[in-house]
Amino acid sequence: MSDTVAQWEVSLSDGVHKIEFEHGTTTGKRVIRVDGQDIYRQEWMFKLVGKEHFDLGKAKLVISIDAVSGFAYEYTLEVNGKPLQKFRENQSKIMKSWVLTIADNPIRVVLEKDTLDVWVNGDKKDTAGEFVDDGTETHFEIGAHSAYIKAVSSGKRKSGIIHKLFVDDNEIPEAKE
């Protein structure tokens, strides 16, 4: 029988990760699982509440276990010092992502707007930037396919720069994560 008490999905540059947490409320057992793999396991602990710290790529995560009443517990996840919801809001400001399928293979492309790094299925790509008449293009390859992210001004201060992905000169719609 599983003691899984919480599950979260965290979207990072290298992909969307599923985090599961098991907590044995009689034994104190704690298990952290990322994408189906155990990364931390403690079978017996006297302290039933507290925090578990772990890294996921460049991200620092903390699971907090708090007693709310009697034998009921609350589990929260922080990513890089922010509650998960706040982290997600921040990620949507600094990352753009697209999902497409090439030869029946799902491909996830992520642009980190603060560093201009491009990731394809979790691998950082070598890129070449070039100025064009209406903005910039960041060129890279997805297997044998040519791809680029075009950055153009929206003309509005609030909207800022608009990023669009093109693969083999076809525009790919932005992912809704």
- Among residues 54, 80, 106, the one where a domain terminates is 80
The total domain count for the chain is: 2
Q: Is residue 65 part of a domain?
A: yes
Q: What range defines the domain where residue 37 resides?
A: 4-80
Q: What string of pLDDT tens digits covers the 177 residues of the chain?
A: 578 999 999 988 888 899 999 998 777 889 999 999 999 999 887 788 899 999 998 899 999 999 998 778 999 999 999 999 999 988 888 899 999 999 999 999 999 998 999 999 989 999 999 999 989 999 999 999 999 999 998 888 777 899 999 999 999 998 876
- Among residues 51, 80, 109, the one where a domain terminates is 80
| 58 and 111 housed in the same domain | no
Task: Indicate the SS3 state at residue 116.
Answer: coil
pTM attached to this predicted model:
0.78
| 106 and 166 housed in the same domain | yes
Q: Is residue 157 part of a domain?
A: yes
- Give me the pLDDT at residue 145, please: 96
- Give me the pLDDT at residue 155, please: 84
Locate 93 and state its tokens.
């400001």
| 73 and 99 housed in the same domain | no
CB within 8 Å of 30: residues ≥ 6 apart: 21, 22, 23, 24, 40, 41, 42, 45, 52, 65
| 130 and 65 housed in the same domain | no
- Give me the pLDDT at residue 13, please: 84
Q: Is residue 107 part of a domain?
A: yes
- Give me the pLDDT at residue 1, please: 54
Cα separation, 7 vs 19, whole angstroms: 6
- Give me the pLDDT at residue 69, please: 82
Cα separation, 158 vs 85, whole angstroms: 22
Q: Is residue 177 part of a domain?
A: no
| 17 and 71 housed in the same domain | yes
Tell me which amino acid residue 157 is: R
| 98 and 63 housed in the same domain | no
- Give me the pLDDT at residue 96, please: 92
For residue 53, the domain's CATH number is: 2.40.128.180
| 98 and 72 housed in the same domain | no
| 95 and 164 housed in the same domain | yes
